[in-house]
Structure 1
């Protein structure tokens, strides 16, 4: 049975953001936890991670040469910011930490193109290297289900992948939309594409992806603004939604 959005007595302090039509693209999200870091902490760069990133960049360039219609972006973990849910520590939910410090995002207008990449010999080699270099991995097909605006991958910035676990996916989508106005007002957020897993690992209900120009636009708000805890995190908790945000830079 679908759960209804639970709203707290916040007097509509942050209006809902306006959404555009979702993208028709197909996505493949590949995430890996290579290095172990305490929470919260700026993520380290071990030799193993550096080598794997070099291999991943070489693979990306080869695939984009063979499949020009595919958009492939590689991200290196920068920091795990405040915002991870206390539900992660509740054994009754059996939620899993997302501490992925390497992410590959593939986008295509054609689902068949992503399938071709997955069955290619070069991907099989990369997948094996990621598997042996990582503590844990996450691979899923996805579609865009909600969108504020496109995430700009054409220029540097600070990028968020927020891995959500939830009791009810629709409730997760509803509370994401309900709280996104806080990010718009407090951090100047003007873009976001919410990815809904559609085949592969079903650990996470949704994965939100967005961008800021620099770390100072977003990190101080998450650390110092009381309204982030009182408005955003309380709404997530009330709706049994566990966000696990990680900030990245493109490589």
Structure 2
């Protein structure tokens, strides 16, 4: 199978990339009060208490010499996956709580993952629910560093595909659309360094509130260009939108 671009448009080129960061990434996600009907996670005291606990533990992880950042996220909406990603064989991400640990370099991943501080963080996540996911990887491509020092709408996209190489090319054109339509200047595409349910994990920060983001992805070109090319290239986009907490 080869990559094919459907409905090419001179307005949408391949994404303009920058040199990817050399950091390592540890991502923990959990479905605590995930939506069962509809797309909005439910609030609960248990989830609020867990988030407070994770924030405290993340600060301890961040104090490690080999860690650059450790951030905690709470989902605001779990959108419907793209058509290819709706197949039953794929694990649907319903993760309404997530943590991202960025190490100074990829070589530090193993040591950080084995540290008491990270293990305490991981144990808190896995104790809260059986529906969890852990991702360890590196940055394959980047539109620019994701600013996690201030609020915004954070898109974590769990990607599945028949062919990861084709998924990579598809990602480049899809994010070229976001650069054109939303002036997006940041995004990181992570490739797993160990077995994962997902071919890639990408994340980006938007200076938009949720209604404005919904308006953005409701543009006709979203379906004509992004959705069509995802399906044609057998790539599943399974997004979750989060607030930084």
TM-score by length of 1: 0.89
Report whether the alignment pairs 1:248 with 2:245.
no
Q: Which residue of 1 aligns with 2:74?
A: 76
My pick for the range that moved more, 42-51 or 72-81, is 42-51
- Return the alpha-carbon distance in structure 2 between the equivalents of residues 182 and 39 of structure 1: 30
Unaligned runs of 5+ in 2: none
- Return the alpha-carbon distance in structure 2 between the equivalents of residues 95 and 241 of structure 1: 11
| Inter-CA distance 127–110: structure 2 relative to 1 (3 Å threshold) | same
| Inter-CA distance 217–59: structure 2 relative to 1 (3 Å threshold) | same
Match of 2:100 among 80, 100, 105: 105
Q: Which residue of 1 aligns with 2:24?
A: 26
Q: Which residue of 1 aligns with 2:84?
A: 87
Unaligned runs of 5+ in 1: none
My pick for the range that moved more, 47-56 or 236-245, is 47-56
| Inter-CA distance 90–112: structure 2 relative to 1 (3 Å threshold) | closer
- Return the alpha-carbon distance in structure 1 between the equivalents of residues 176 and 59 of structure 2: 37
Contact 2:34/2:96 (<8 A) preserved: no
- Return the alpha-carbon distance in structure 1 between the equivalents of residues 105 and 86 of structure 2: 39
Contact 2:41/2:77 (<8 A) preserved: yes
Aligned length, in residue pairs? 244
Shift of 1:197: 0.8
Report whether the alignment pairs 1:171 with 2:200.
no
Report whether the alignment pairs 1:212 with 2:210.
no
Q: How does 1:42-57 map to 2 (within 5 A)?
A: 42-57=40-55
TM-score by length of 2: 0.91
Secondary structure, aligned partner of 2:12? coil
Match of 1:58 among 36, 56, 66: 56
After the TM superposition, which parts of structure 1 deviate over 4 Å for at least 4 consecutive aligned residues?
none
- Return the alpha-carbon distance in structure 2 between the equivalents of residues 213 and 89 of structure 1: 28
- Return the alpha-carbon distance in structure 2 between the equivalents of residues 39 and 146 of structure 1: 34
Q: Which residue of 2 aligns with 1:238?
A: 232
| Inter-CA distance 124–74: structure 2 relative to 1 (3 Å threshold) | same
| Cα deviations by residue, 1:63-120 (Å, 9 ceiling, x for unpaired) | 22343743111111111235x12234434xx111111111111112234543333223
